[in-house]
Amino acid sequence: MNRREFLRRGCLSVGMLALPPLWAQLSPDEKTGLRDEKPTQTGILKREIPNTREKLTAVGLGTWRHFDAEWSDYERLEMVIDVFRSEGGQVIDTSPMYGMAETVLGVLTGESNFFRAGKIFTTGENEGLEQFKLSLSRMRVRKLDLLQVHNLLDVRTHIKTLRRLKEEGRIRYLGLTHYQESVYGEMASLMREMKPDFIQISYNVRERAAEKELLPLAQQLKIAVLVNQPFGGGSLLPPGSLGEVPGFARELGCRSRAQALLKFVLSHEAVTCVLTGTGNSLHMKENMRAAHGDFPEEKDRERWARALVNF
């Protein structure tokens, strides 16, 4: 039995056919274009991991909330993965604290060639190692590309485990994460002390504290940066706003507010990859298109931020 047949038999329903608000806003020509366009991997923005020069596609997939799913959602989420793959997507980020997300990824991706970023979110050395092993089992892989200490929980214990796993070849990179601006001072100190390969932080047009120290420090120390919550947890995409784009953003090819928000994040050169969370394949395609074309220049970033916060 192949994967698609397995999912069809396992799913309890196929409610994924319900159309999202953005689809309803598109013209017939735009809908046809989204259905028929070929994958656009040519020209997609890729950024280097500074300490190895390995390149990653600049828009990734986050699995918080959307991939904590029941069987009835699996076929819809498989469509998201298929679009992500066809558009050249690589980085998929998850965590043990995301409910069923690791298990869902295991079913939908298996040994497929993605850049998998996992996390440790517990206390204690043995507990951290056991959690890592369980994550591998759930995701159906033998190793991870990136393992991160989630929200710096018991970071001094887990960084030792991560270094050992990297030496053993069970992970390729190690990282630190946090989403609260109040902890960014501690994050900066740990970056200087521990020299991780990656950090993961929140950054968007409204939450810009990372610009003050973390992003310049990442460039200085040659640390790759994953960005989460580019849409402010959804607050920057209020209902009915998906089709609203300032004129200057349209000039850079943005067809949706989401694309404009992503292009702003990617206009900072310290950002390696921005993670977008969605359970909708059309939105996934729109998000991936943000990694194409031109981006705001440094002199225009303030105007973009003000406009997108207030538009």
Q: Does residue 4 fall inside a structural domain?
A: no
Q: Does residue 203 fall inside a structural domain?
A: yes
CATH number of the domain enclosing 88 = 3.20.20.100
Q: Does residue 10 fall inside a structural domain?
A: no
Q: Does residue 28 fall inside a structural domain?
A: no
For 98-126, b/e burial (b = at least 16 CB within 10 A) is bebbbbbbbbbbeeeebbbbbbbbbeeee
| Cα distances (angstroms) measured from residue 228 to each of 123, 129, 254, 271 | 23, 25, 20, 11
- Segment 24-53 mean pLDDT: 64
More confident of the two residues 93 and 237 = 93
pLDDT, tens only, 51-65: 999 999 999 999 999
Of 128, 135, 162, the closest CA to residue 148 belongs to 162
Q: Does residue 15 fall inside a structural domain?
A: no
Residue 227 has pLDDT above 50, yes or no: yes
pLDDT, tens only, 8-19: 444 433 333 333
**C-alpha angle with apex 105: 104 to 109, nearest 5 degrees?**
125
Question: What pLDDT, on a 0 to 100 scale, did the predictor assign at position 311?
Answer: 67
Question: What pLDDT, on a 0 to 100 scale, did the predictor assign at position 122?
Answer: 97
Q: Does residue 263 fall inside a structural domain?
A: yes
pLDDT, tens only, 65-107: 999 998 889 999 999 999 999 999 999 999 999 999 999 999 9
- The partner residues of 175 in beta bridges, in order of sequence, read 148, 198
* Structural domain harbouring 158: 52-310
Residue 243 has pLDDT above 70, yes or no: no
Average pLDDT, the chain: 88
Residue identified by tokens 């993965």 is 81
Q: Does residue 234 fall inside a structural domain?
A: yes
Q: Does residue 133 fall inside a structural domain?
A: yes
Residue 46 has pLDDT above 60, yes or no: yes
Question: What pLDDT, on a 0 to 100 scale, did the predictor assign at position 28?
Answer: 46
Question: What pLDDT, on a 0 to 100 scale, did the predictor assign at position 18?
Answer: 36
For 193-202, b/e burial (b = at least 16 CB within 10 A) is ebebbbbbbb
Task: Flag the least confident range among 22-26, 57-61, 239-243.
Answer: 22-26
Residue 240 has pLDDT above 90, yes or no: no
pLDDT above 90 as % of the chain: 77
Coil, strand, or helix at residue 154?
Answer: coil
- Quickly state the pLDDT bin for 245 (edges 50, 70, 90): confident
* Residue 272 · residue 56 · CB < 8 Å: yes
Residue 169 has pLDDT above 50, yes or no: yes
Question: What pLDDT, on a 0 to 100 scale, did the predictor assign at position 310?
Answer: 81
Question: What pLDDT, on a 0 to 100 scale, did the predictor assign at position 110?
Answer: 82
Structurally, how many domains does the chain consist of? 1
